[in-house]
Amino acid sequence: DIQMTQSPSSLSASLGDRVNITCRASQSISSYLNWYQQKPGKAPKLLIYAASSLQGGVPSRFSGGGSGTDFSLTISSLQPEDFATYYCQQTYNTPLTFGGGTKVAIK
């Protein structure tokens, strides 16, 4: 199984900050990498697919990058609604696997 490792597991940031979350795969997954946002008590929401493609309706302050084993999710200017937990997911093969999550909290 492909292991996905996210870092950091949590971070504190202020409104307007630039936030970067990284995700590393245990083997090369090309660009088969998605990012999700989850708020407490809610279902996850797809933000980025194929490593860098923005899902429809998602604000442009979210961006994704990387390929192979190393990926990143960047929020260019943190907004109040962005405080949530973020997960990466590989879709290179099954079992589909998620990273452990990164909780973004208010500083």
Partner 1 sequence: EVQLVESGGGLVQPGGSLRLSCAASGFTFSSYWMNWVRQAPGKGLEWVANIKQDGSEKDYVDSVKGRFTISRDNVKNSLFLQMNSLRAEDTAVYYCARGGSGFSYGKLDYWGQGKLVTVSS
Applying CB under 8 A, which residues contact partner 1? Answer: 1, 32, 34, 36, 38, 43-46, 49-50, 55, 87, 89-91, 94-101
Distance between CA atoms of residues 46 and 101, nearest Å: 14
Instruction: Give 68 or 100: the residue with its C-beta nearer to partner 1.
Output: 100
Where does 1-107 have alpha helices with state H? none
Instruction: Give 13 or 46: the residue with its C-beta nearer to partner 1.
Output: 46
Q: How far is the CB of 16 from partner 1 (least distance, A)?
A: 28
Q: Which two tokens stand for residue 51?
A: 């490593």
CA 61 to chain centre: 13
Instruction: Give 83 or 98: the residue with its C-beta nearer to partner 1.
Output: 98
Q: How far is the CB of 86 from partner 1 (least distance, A)?
A: 11
Q: How far is the CB of 51 from partner 1 (least distance, A)?
A: 12
Q: How far is the CB of 87 from partner 1 (least distance, A)?
A: 6
